[in-house]
């Protein structure tokens, strides 16, 4: 038997009974889910209904605007309601004030109005957002919290600005004006200053805007005005000073019986001296200061000063050879000079005086002491001995010539020249005229010998030259005569003369010693001599003269006859004598001790040939000139 055919008895298997699940939780879940879906569906139906009901209306929850509840209104209804309620532009009044004046305007006149459409649009858009969920949440917020809403009030500032500009132009604004000072016809006229005013429209509009935003029904607003003070505020004081200055002329005067003057400065001249100067003060303002340009007055006084100045008079002395002391022959005297600064100070004070008496200015002077007082001693001046003496001769001179020599020589007697001082013959000679003691005589003028005042003065200048020559003083100016004159060649020969003709031709020398120099002159009519003496302190000078050397001699020209109406026919007067022309050279060497201080100084004289000259009666056939 094969294995495949073996059979086994059947055995029934037993199983454990199974447990069935509880269906209620699932059922509860589905019931909840279905309920929620149903609730959501119902809610959506309600929302849709709410949205449908208010699709053209303002949602509830929007705040009342101007006392009008806009909820549930369409936009047009809301606009109409707000416009009917908002009467502010016509009821609100704004009063602008400045300087006691008022300007009153309604809010509407100032550009205030309600923008109802914008206000309603803001209310209408509340709860209407982008997306349904956002809108739903916004609407829910309206329900719970409300939605505050302010009216949109428009303030068109351009209208208010135009009104303010008109007020400013017509009533407020004005330019700043400085006070001015003008002078015409000798009088000063002052104009008043003016404070500048300018309405600050922007600041005033800002104040107005604050009142409008607060919806004030009545407000008083002060115009904001910028004031600009003038720089020159008041010139009345300066004008008063000017008028005082130009009221009357100024008179300068001197005290004394024989005083010169008076001299007047006219109002026109005072006006030319007037100075108006702007002065900046610490507060930024400017004032006019009135002063005087004294340069014109100074120039006037400087021109006047020489006329009023008296030079101090130095003492004149003679030296007593026995006592070796000075003897006063002319006392010294103080001079007088115009005190410019003091006089100008008085002038400035008088210019602003009120009354005529105070406008008289007394000239101020100060004393000028002499350089050589009569109290000076020989030791103080260093005048202790005779240092040089020279004599010239004038025998054959006319009485007039002799008188002139005597008068001219007296001008120098006792004269003292200080150390470093320059002796000028013309300065001390003074005026040569009949009034000063001179007589008419023959004088050389050009190529003629004519009758004039002062003939013989050159005898004195020639003597002065020869004395200074041998004293060793530096010769500053010396001019020889046009032709050789016999008077001057006695003793020293040609080339040692010196002519003078004030003010053109002068003889001058320098006292280059540290001592004063005393000059004494002595006229001796009996001997026809003139002597000059120099007294000082001997510094050891020694003079060596070389010459004269006469060269290029030329014979005199033919005689000259000139008409003289005072001569009768046949009369003849020999007025000058013929002499030959020549070039003459004289040399001088000056020693001081063994030292040469002036080495071979040349004195050159050119003399023209000179004819005999005669005067004859008019009509004489010999007249050739």
CA distance 521 to 392: 11
Residue 88 tokens read as 């502010």
Concatenating the DSSP letter of every residue in 501-562 gives BTTTB--EEE--SSS-EEEEEEEETTTTEEEEEEEE----EEEEEEEEEEEEEE-----EEE
- Does residue 201 come out as left (phi exceeding 0), alpha (psi in the -120 to 50 range) or beta? alpha
Q: For residue 105, what pLDDT is reported?
A: 93
- Asked if residue 106 lies in contact with residue 93, where contact means CB atoms within 8 angstroms, the answer is yes
Sheet (strand 218-222) strand order: 101-106, 93-98, 218-222
* pLDDT digits 0-9 by tens, 364-400: 999 999 999 999 999 999 999 999 999 999 998 889 9
- CA angle 187/190/195 to nearest 5° reads 170
Q: For residue 18, what pLDDT is reported?
A: 53
* Distance, first Cα to last Cα, the chain: 218
Q: Look at the block and give the residue holding tokens 């400045």.
A: 98
* pLDDT digits 0-9 by tens, 207-225: 999 988 888 889 999 999 9
Tell me, what DSSP letter sits at residue 482?
Answer: S
**Strand-pair category, 613-616 with 560-563:** parallel
Least confident of 247-261, 360-374, 537-551: 247-261
pLDDT at 448 over 60: no
List strand residue ranges (DSSP E) for 411-478, in order. 415-417, 422-424, 440-445, 448-453, 475-477
Q: Which domains does the chain have, with CATH numbers?
A: 47-96+103-155 (no CATH), 236-368 (3.10.20.800), 378-616 (no CATH)
Residue 595: strand, helix, or coil: strand
Candidates 458, 449, 443; CA nearest to 499 is 458
* pLDDT digits 0-9 by tens, 458-515: 999 999 999 999 999 999 999 999 888 888 888 899 999 999 988 889 999 999 999 9
What pTM, to 2 d.p., does this model score?
0.59
pLDDT at 450 over 60: no
CA distance 112 to 109: 7
Candidates 622, 529, 507, 516; CA nearest to 567 is 622
pLDDT at 4 over 50: no
- Does residue 228 come out as left (phi exceeding 0), alpha (psi in the -120 to 50 range) or beta? beta
Is the peptide bond preceding residue 503 cis, with omega within 30 degrees of 0?
A: yes
């Amino acid at each position: 038997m094969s294995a495949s055919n073996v059979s086994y008895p059947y055995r029934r298997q037993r199983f454990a009974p199974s447990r069935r699940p509880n269906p209620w939780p699932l059922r509860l879940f589905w019931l909840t889910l279905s309920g929620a879906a149903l609730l959501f569906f119902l809610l959506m139906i309600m929302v849709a209904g709410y949205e449908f009901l208010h699709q053209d209306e303002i949602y509830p929850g929007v705040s009342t605007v101007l006392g009008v509840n806009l909820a549930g209104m369409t936009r047009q209804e809301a606009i109409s309601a707000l416009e009917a309620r908002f009467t502010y532009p016509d009821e609100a009044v704004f009063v602008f004030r400045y300087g006691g004046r008022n300007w009153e305007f309604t809010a509407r006149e100032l550009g205030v109005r309600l923008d109802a459409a914008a206000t309603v649009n803001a209310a209408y858009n509340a709860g209407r957002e982008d997306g349904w969920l956002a809108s739903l949440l916004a609407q829910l917020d309206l329900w719970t919290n409300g939605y505050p809403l302010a009216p949109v009030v428009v303030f068109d500032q351009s209208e208010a600005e135009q009104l303010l500009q008109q007020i400013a132009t017509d009533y407020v604004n004005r330019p700043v004006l400085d006070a001015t000072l003008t002078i015409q016809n000798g009088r000063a006229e002052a104009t008043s200053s003016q404070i500048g005013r300018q309405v600050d429209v922007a600041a005033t509009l800002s104040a107005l805007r604050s009142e409008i935003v607060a919806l004030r029904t009545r407000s008083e607003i002060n115009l904001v005005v910028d004031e600009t003070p003038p720089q020159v505020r008041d010139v009345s004081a300066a004008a008063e000073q000017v008028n005082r200055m130009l009221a009357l002329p100024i008179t300068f005067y001197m005290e004394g019986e024989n005083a010169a003057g008076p001299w007047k400065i006219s109002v026109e001249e005072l006006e030319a001296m007037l100075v108006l100067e702007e002065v900046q003060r610490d507060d930024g303002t400017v004032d006019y200061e009135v002063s005087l340009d004294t340069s014109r007055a100074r120039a006037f006084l400087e021109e006047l000063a020489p006329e009023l100045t008296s030079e101090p008079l130095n003492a004149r002395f003679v030296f007593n050879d026995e006592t070796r002391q000075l003897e006063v022959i002319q006392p010294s005297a103080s001079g007088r000079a115009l005190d410019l600064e003091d006089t100008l100070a008085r002038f400035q004070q008088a210019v602003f005086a009120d009354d005529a008496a105070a406008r008289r200015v007394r000239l101020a002077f100060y004393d000028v002491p002499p350089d050589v007082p009569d109290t000076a001693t020989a030791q103080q001046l260093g005048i202790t001995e005779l240092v040089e003496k020279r004599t010239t001769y004038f025998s054959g001179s006319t009485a007039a010539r002799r008188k002139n020599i005597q008068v001219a020589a007296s001008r120098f007697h006792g004269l003292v020249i200080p150390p470093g001082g320059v002796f000028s013959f013309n300065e001390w000679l003074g005026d040569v005229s009949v009034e000063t003691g001179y007589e008419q005589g023959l004088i050389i003028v050009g190529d003629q010998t004519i009758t004039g005042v002062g003939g013989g003065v050159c005898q004195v200048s020639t003597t002065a030259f020869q004395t200074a020559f041998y004293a060793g003083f530096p010769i500053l100016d010396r001019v020889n005569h046009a032709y050789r004159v016999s008077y001057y060649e006695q003793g020293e020969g040609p080339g040692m003369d010196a002519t003078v003709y004030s003010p053109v031709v002068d003889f001058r020398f320098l006292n280059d010693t540290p001592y004063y120099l005393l000059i004494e002159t002595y006229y001796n009519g009996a001997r026809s001599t003139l002597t000059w003496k120099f007294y000082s302190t001997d510094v050891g000078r020694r003079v060596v003269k070389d010459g004269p050397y006469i060269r290029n001699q030329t014979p005199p020209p033919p005689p000259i006859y000139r008409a003289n109406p005072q001569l009768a026919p046949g009369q003849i007067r020999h007025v000058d004598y013929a002499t030959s022309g020549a070039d003459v050279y004289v040399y001088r060497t000056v020693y001081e001790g063994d030292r040469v201080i002036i080495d071979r100084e040349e004195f050159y004289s050119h003399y023209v040939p000179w004819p005999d000259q005669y005067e004859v009666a008019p009509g004489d056939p010999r007249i050739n000139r």
